[in-house]
Amino acid sequence: MADEIDDTTWYQQTCARLTSVYLAGDNPRAQSGFTGDQTHWTQARSLIAEAINRDGAFLDIGCANGFLLECLCWLG
């Protein structure tokens, strides 16, 4: 099993790869892992806003740079 790595090593290597890719983006969409333009971002993410049917708290866990949560106020 020489090709196997432990969970900690896998996590660290994956974080390093994803972080460099996200930070290479030149706009908040790219930095959140999205490769489409603003129109496609709005279209794809507005589905999330449509599911919110009342006031309350919204917990954004592990959503890259937080751009989705920032956009929810104008997507809905």
| Domain coordinates in residue numbering, the chain | 7-75
Per-residue pLDDT, 74: 66
Higher pLDDT, 76 or 50: 50
How far lies 27's CA from each of 23, 39, 50, 52, 76, in Å? 9, 14, 24, 26, 21
How far lies 49's CA from each of 4, 12, 20, in Å? 41, 32, 29
Per-residue pLDDT, 13: 94
Q: How far apart are CA 44 and CA 61, in angstroms?
A: 18
Per-residue pLDDT, 64: 76
Residue range 39-74, pLDDT digits in tens: 998 888 888 888 888 888 877 777 678 888 888 776
